Structure 1
Amino acid sequence: MLAEDAQVYVISVAAELAGMHPQTLRQYDRLGIVSPRRTRGRGRRYSWRDIEQLREVHRLSQDEGVNLAGIKRILDLEAEVARLTQQVEYLRSFAEPGRRVFTAGPTGDVIAMRRGQRARMGEQRSTGGAIVLWRPTRRTEITYR
């Protein structure tokens, strides 16, 4: 059995499995809606996950009446939710019942500490291995160190 991410289907096979014309797949690739991996010769190779995504695009377009810009936005938001869900699960792996997991670093950053690690007051160097969860800037973002 192949993995969902195995890039094995050429465009004609992927189009047939998704119930679409190959030109439609090319258009979706150009628009960044479903972008398969490329071979050295620049040929498209689709995975089963790509084909499932193509089917979802088709469903949203035909059954729900969503335009391509809306579909792209929906797919981007779903990818963001999946990324954030994975990040939450990662941060939960730090948690132990009754223990503090987050603290403020010397620069004011909110950081996740390793089990048993405590931030030292007045420490001016980087908290090696810590994850910066929030940094007070104009644009809030989550970064990894």
Structure 2
Amino acid sequence: MPAVDINFDQPIFVISVAAELADMHPQTLRQYDRLGIVSPSRAPGKSRRYSQRDVNRLREVQRLSHEGVSLEGIKRILELENQVAALQHRVSELTQELARRREPLESRIFAAGAAGDVVSLARGQRPRPRSQAVVVWRPRGDL
């Protein structure tokens, strides 16, 4: 049986189904939408559509609420979690960029532009604009 690839961000649940999955009343979901705690997508005709990620977030809101956290506190917690996720994504991007830049120095070429910026170029790549750039390299045999 082939594996099923599920997109957790696909807005597929109408409000009644999402409310049932999250074990909440649909009016509670409307209130959370108004407060900006969980904001579903909108289908043509303005009807709300919830994704699996939205339903999971609703369950997390319910758990925090049962633990005594206010709605403002829950909203702030979710905002901070989003910031952490964005920062983790950025760290991952920067880590990949750093790994890419750790090529052997002899295979790297650098260019200095008229504005004083320095960029790393691939072999055969030319700086833009050519007329105002200085290219520095070291031949492989001259270490």
- TM-score, normalised on structure 1? 0.68
Query: Which of 31, 56, 72 is the aligned partner of 1:27?
Result: 31
2:91 equivalent in structure 1: 88
Percent identity (aligned) = 55
**Which protein, 1 or 2, shows the higher relative CO under an 8 Å CA cutoff with sep ≥ 6?**
2
Q: Which moved more, 1:91-100 or 1:13-22?
A: 91-100
Displacement of 1:36 in angstroms is 0.4
CA distance in 2, matches of 1:99, 1:20: 51
The gaps in structure 1 that reach 5 residues or longer are: 101-114, 129-145
Query: Which of 45, 48, 72 is the aligned partner of 1:69?
Result: 72
Residue type matched to 1:76 in 2?
E
**Number of residues paired by the alignment?**
112
2:60 equivalent in structure 1: 56
Q: Is 1:36 aligned to 2:34, yes or no?
A: no
1:9 equivalent in structure 2: 13
The gaps in structure 2 that reach 5 residues or longer are: 120-143
- TM-score, normalised on structure 2? 0.69
* Superposed CA offset, 1:21-50 (max 9, x none): 000000000000000000111100000110
1:132 equivalent in structure 2: none
CA distance in 1, matches of 2:30, 2:117: 47
CA distance in 1, matches of 2:86, 2:11: 21
Residue type matched to 2:85 in 1?
A
Displacement of 1:94 in angstroms is 1.3
- Bigger Rg, which one: 2
Residue type matched to 1:65 in 2?
G
What is the correspondence of 1:118-129 to structure 2 with a 5 Å cutoff? 118=110, 120=112, 123-124=114-115
CA distance in 2, matches of 1:125, 1:98: 20
